[in-house]
Structure 1
């Protein structure tokens, strides 16, 4: 029996980074519709993980299956985590840092890049420090708490001559790319409508995600960004206006500046529209729906850790599940070392566009007016 990795390799053609695969529609007709992410052999990206919380744990475990990325450094404010993680992932004492002394990575040749996986409000300062140390930056989304900080991050990395990549794992997920390619190939016709539902019922009221000073907001920063980003790559255009409405049912749990539920609408140059929901008060909301004048594609779950489930007017989309963070880190190694170009961008400019949209959504909530967008 083949492993998932072997199955994907079997589908590849040559040594290209994004080889063709075939899909079968509801009438049994095969047609080329997707490129499955596949990296060429090459230098291994040596990564320091910053912020050793639950998501970093998921990333670290996924990286054990990477071909071209490995953990070579750790940054944390908790000494016991540095000790236990160092032993688990064979990171020597000299490559373990805290938040006060991590600027010393400048002199560590065993670190090429730092993956920032800390609370949102810390990303900006930490990114600037990593860039100043001459290391590439991989930053978890959202890249910052507003567009101003995001632009400063982009500029700092450009000035330092290092790459800034954002942790958009879905940009490399095979079923997602299948739907995007269906749209590009004209299978859906002219896109008219996108729906993105992103939400879950949040638990512990004392966690950092409900602390405005650390999170920079509430559900929109954490989960709503998936619908924002998804609308852009699914429709294949940049929005030119936004309207938005907020509902708050629990002002004790969701204090001032921490959004509970926001519905928002995006308008695109072609006339396509998007209707989206971001919430911390409802479960079972992980759905994308893309509608054109010739067909549709639907995904549910659409952005969870997988497996992603998708189907269209042509039938089920059933490409094999590979751990998202494994694919992401291998692909980011290729971007940094090979200057490869992903089908959907993951650079700092991509992250900045999402921050501009979030800023506009919050302005639309406050003003009750349609807000124009300029993402150029």
Structure 2
């Protein structure tokens, strides 16, 4: 199959708009937020006014009527400057709003999507638990339906949940065991829990290596009650639902990782042109030139990979393998490019005043979040017809 990865005029206009916003509005301010571990509310509000949180959703729900390729373009341009801002958008769309759009009732869509698309509120996805990270099927959080009150009663703990504790977080979609299958295995469902619901506790922000201007928290539920109507999708189908959400999300993370990798190139080329050593710019040295050539090659290839997966998703074709390939490759080359960028910058690359130091700290989580590199290799092997 031949896929044309050249952007349409509309997609190119969006890319340029976000590129300008990232350099003019994000780059000058984000370093201070990052070092102070503060959530950049004004930047996020501006992203909402631009319609970025509504990019892949229909206009009838307050969206921009775009597609997943549009979302990926925005994420890549933001991540070229900062990953905290990019992951806030990625999680808000792919993990917060997309489950409601894909599986929600019309009433749920009308209630939640317009406010999420505008950036008025953020949504989060409560999947990961302390003792079952990659093994999401081992979910221990439970939800039982109280027939007398018509409410779900939720108990359990979630960890590493992005966008879950900001002042504008509106809901968290939680996966929970709601019953048992005939073979004794867990029957997992997804349930919407609005912020502020009694019994729903949000912990203090984590102290993280990177993504320090994004919000990541542990959540706990103690006899937390929500209406039965807050069930998202079919009861017992939560596991299948989140697999679909993660397949799509891997494309978004790949676009983000590509942006970080390209940002490392941008910063390193600029530095190599101006940094003098032994009487000439270090960019005149072939060793530096070859490093930069390899960095550009990796970023370019990652871009082709995520755009291929996004094009397949948009056209309704199977994309699971391509999404895993893109996520695996782009996340690993993001780490490599960040390491090389730091090396090119020398001692300055170890100083937080330089963006590459932030990129170095932000890159590693890309090999872990939304499916580790090991999980991606497992998925690719399965798609090749190899059983485990």
Tell me the TM-score normalised to structure 1 length. Answer: 0.30
Higher strand share: 1
Tell me the TM-score normalised to structure 2 length. Answer: 0.29
Higher helix share: 2
